[in-house]
Amino acid sequence: MKLRDIVERLELQVVAAGENLDREVAGGYASDLLSDVMANSREGDIWVTLQAHPNIIAVASLKGMAGIVIVQGRSPEAQTVEKALQEGIPLMVTGLQTFEFVGRLHGLGVSGMR
């Protein structure tokens, strides 16, 4: 599934994306501990978190993730958006909380298992 389809079907607000919405989403990972994400997420994952700190961009870039969704309508810090644009990491926001958002994502066929 392409990131663009997820954005449309789950009505995500796109904060930074550029041309990268055509990326293929291979799976999903939800966690707010960046050390855990660094250890356990996989390339192509869409990452669901409530962290909005600029470090999330570096982690997503390092792991080759498809994009980041910040939950609960939290606004990312200005520097986070700037880094997302620099690194070409799609950054999106949903008003939903993690459990509900991940449930809907799973309903679209995005899995945490590979």
Binding site for other proteins (CB under 8 A): 32-35, 37-38, 51, 53-55, 58-59, 77
Amino acid at 46: I
Q: How near is the Cβ of 54 to other proteins at its closest, in Å?
A: 6
Which pairing describes strands 91-93 and 13-16: parallel, antiparallel, or unpaired? antiparallel
Q: How near is the Cβ of 28 to other proteins at its closest, in Å?
A: 19
What contacts 100, CB < 8 A, 6 or more positions away? none
Q: How near is the Cβ of 35 to other proteins at its closest, in Å?
A: 5
Q: Which is nearer to other proteins, 7 or 37 (CB)?
A: 37
